[in-house]
Amino acid sequence: MKLTDYPRLYISEAHYNRLKEKSDHSVSRKARRSLGALAKTFLADATIVVDETGHNSHLIRARKMQTRVVTLLAEYKRTGDLQYRDAIMADVARIAGWEYWSWITWRQGDARPEAIFDLSYGENSATLALAFDGLYHELSDDEKKLFVDTAVKRALKPFLHVMKAKDKPSYYKHPHTNWNTVCCGGAGMLALAMGDLCKESEAVLKIVEESVEPFFRSLKGDGGWPEGIGYWNYGMRYGFMYLLSWERATGRTHKLLRLKGTEATLKFPLQFTPNGVPCSFGDVNKFSVLPFHYAAAERFGADEVVIELDRRMVLTSEGGLDGPWPNVAELALFHPGHESTMKKGAWHNRVLVRGLDWGYVADQMPDANLYVSVRGGTTDAPHVHRDLMSFFVVAGGEKLIENVGVDDYMDTTFSARRFDLYEPSAHSKNTIFLNGLSIGDKATVKTALVEGAGFEGFRMDATDAMGTMRDGPAATFCGRAILMVKNKGILVVDRVVVPHSALVESRLHTFCDVMFGKSDVQIRGKKQRMQIAVAATEPIMTKQGMGIPSHPGREPDTMIRFVSEKKVMSVTTAYFLTHNGKSDVALSERSGRTTVKITGDVSARVGFDTDQFTF
């Protein structure tokens, strides 16, 4: 394969030149100021400190090293000061000399480079690739040899070894795991950087292309990602780093960057973080802007994405400059340095993500005042929780209703007993319970858009997802509707029919202050207030519960439990969440139709066919 001259990866010569240009944008100016200060810090202290008792400490070390190397590289390109170049070469020698690259094989006591090719290998490979690519034209023969020997021994040969084995790594060709693009993307970037200098490069690139294609094709037209926003950041960072590098190195358009889903996915994490508030599902419900996002948006000409990224940089306390990767350097490199122009109709107030069945509805987007995200789809994917039918509610920029997420990874987090932990289990989610149990393993919930006079939202069918009991299906029907009513409140309607009498419960979680009244519940956040009025077709109790966090340093959440007073054969429960107001809700059933009547600060009626649960 004929490749372009260096630098040929996703940090181009034009990006390096930006560091010396005058910028009229506050985001890029801040990044460039921070770059010099951070580079000086790294120059003064080469120590990399990690908690060796923590989860995957070797991966944390790899990220800190990548942050050092790319930061030093950017500052060297900006200033020409040889001290930064010398520090990079010392760091490359350190990487080459690490006995173990992998935390997994370190725990096993297996120091063979070919024993594994995991996330640490992928990230270290990308670090070597970027350093070699940026410095190539001024490296001595001995320095080039250090890079080439390290690339072959510690990355390219191990990658080919594990990929050519009979039992290939589980991430190979996996459409729904960040491991695919991190491992393959890092190896692919290194193969592109090395080119003909390493005979392994061509074979590595062939396997990388085979593996990452299902990953990007799985995005469908809407770009949804089942691992959620945190792992979207991780997997897409390395995925786009590789694809953009491939285009620059070959001078051709990559077929995967022609896909609608590849472009659409740039909006996905922004859709599920209204005003920077994370409302995604599964592990790592956290999001901060990573600069690769700017590089990808620039590639597609997605100015509306750049504008929203800039807005998030201002909204978030760290300004996008904190994090585990070289955010400061990459932001200085990739920010366009000027204001972009918003396209009309770029954001929709209601979206159901095709192929994923997650959705959201808001009073306005992207600057939402009242917002709810909903979780349909399947739990048959990595990093998922048993959170089907669950939802988040954000009002006035504050999260008032939320699922409880994972705070810390422990050895049990990814063990066979993962769902015995409180956080990944259904017990910490805003969902429906029958006789004390909820969603089962590898379950699916079908989600559809619904709308009517004064309301719009989603209808979910979770009948099959409720699993089985001792002698058949747990539910004859289990459905939930989550509706935005007149842009002023969120109505949740749960309809359950069971073959044998059961206790039925709808559960909510919050970390805000909660006051339980006789007929409603009041939630008080730091700035916002929400009232919850409830009604049901059978007598119910409103009960308070408390979460049981696995990590002792976390404050427990408060559970709001709407539970049938006795075992029932069928019940419809409706609760209405009003932001900064007060409402009442009532239910009536007549001639096969159920009507939810809302009165007070919000006045509305929502009707549906009782048996079919159609609106």
Using one digit for the tens of pLDDT, what is the confidence trace for 385-429? 999 999 999 999 999 999 999 988 999 999 999 999 999 999 999
Please report which confidence band the pLDDT of residue 317 belongs to, taking 50, 70 and 90 as the band edges: very low
Least confident stretch, 46-55, 73-82, 238-247, 485-494: 46-55
**pLDDT at residue 529, as a whole number:** 96
Least confident stretch, 105-114, 130-139, 333-342, 450-459: 333-342
Give pLDDT tens digits for 285-298. 999 999 999 999 99
| Residue 493 backbone dihedrals phi, psi, to 5 degrees | -120, 120
Candidates 291, 289, 215; CA nearest to 11 is 291
Please state the rounded mean pLDDT for residues 322-340. 91
Q: Distance between CA 476 and CA 504 in Å, rounded?
A: 13
Please report the beta strands in 472-539, taking only residues with DSSP state E, as ranges in sequence order.
Answer: 472-473, 477-485, 489-502, 504-510, 513-516, 520-524, 529-536
Please report which confidence band the pLDDT of residue 353 belongs to, taking 50, 70 and 90 as the band edges: very high
Res 314 pLDDT > 90: no
Give pLDDT tens digits for 295-308. 999 999 999 999 99
Give pLDDT tens digits for 36-80. 999 999 999 999 999 988 899 999 999 999 999 999 999 999 999
Please report which confidence band the pLDDT of residue 282 belongs to, taking 50, 70 and 90 as the band edges: very high
The DSSP call for residue 133 is: H
Res 610 pLDDT > 70: yes
Q: Distance between CA 374 and CA 279 in Å, rounded?
A: 9
Q: Distance between CA 440 and CA 201 in Å, rounded?
A: 44
**pLDDT at residue 316, as a whole number:** 59
**pLDDT at residue 342, as a whole number:** 75
- In degrees, rounded to 5, the angle at the alpha carbon of residue 548 between the alpha carbons of residues 545 and 551 is 150
Report the SS3 class of residue 552. coil
Please give the C-alpha separations between residue 72 and each of 39, 64, 151, 292, in angstroms, as whole numbers.
6, 12, 20, 18
**pLDDT at residue 552, as a whole number:** 86
Please state the rounded mean pLDDT for residues 310-316. 80
Res 320 pLDDT > 60: no
439 burial level (CB within 10 Å; 0-12, 13-18, 19+): buried
**pLDDT at residue 519, as a whole number:** 82
Q: Are 400 and 407 in contact (CB under 8 A)?
A: no
Please give the C-alpha separations between residue 262 and each of 4, 234, 269, 573, in angstroms, as whole numbers.
24, 15, 13, 40
Res 1 pLDDT > 90: no
**pLDDT at residue 518, as a whole number:** 83
Sign of the CA dihedral with 436 first, then 278, 126, and 320 last: negative
Res 321 pLDDT > 90: no
Give pLDDT tens digits for 115-165. 999 999 999 999 999 999 999 999 999 999 999 999 999 999 999 999 999
Percent of the chain beyond pLDDT 70?
99
Give pLDDT tens digits for 462-484. 999 999 988 899 999 999 999 99
Q: Where are the domains of the chain?
A: 13-334, 350-609
Domain 13-334 identical in fold to domain 350-609: no
186 burial level (CB within 10 Å; 0-12, 13-18, 19+): buried
Residues facing 573 on adjacent strands: 494, 536
Res 318 pLDDT > 70: no
Give pLDDT tens digits for 548-559. 999 888 899 999
One CATH from 2.40.50.140, 2.70.98.70, 3.90.660.10, 3.40.50.261 for 350-609: 2.70.98.70
Whole-number average pLDDT of the chain: 95
Please state the rounded mean pLDDT for residues 197-224. 97
Percent of the chain beyond pLDDT 90?
91
CATH number of 13-334: 1.50.10.100
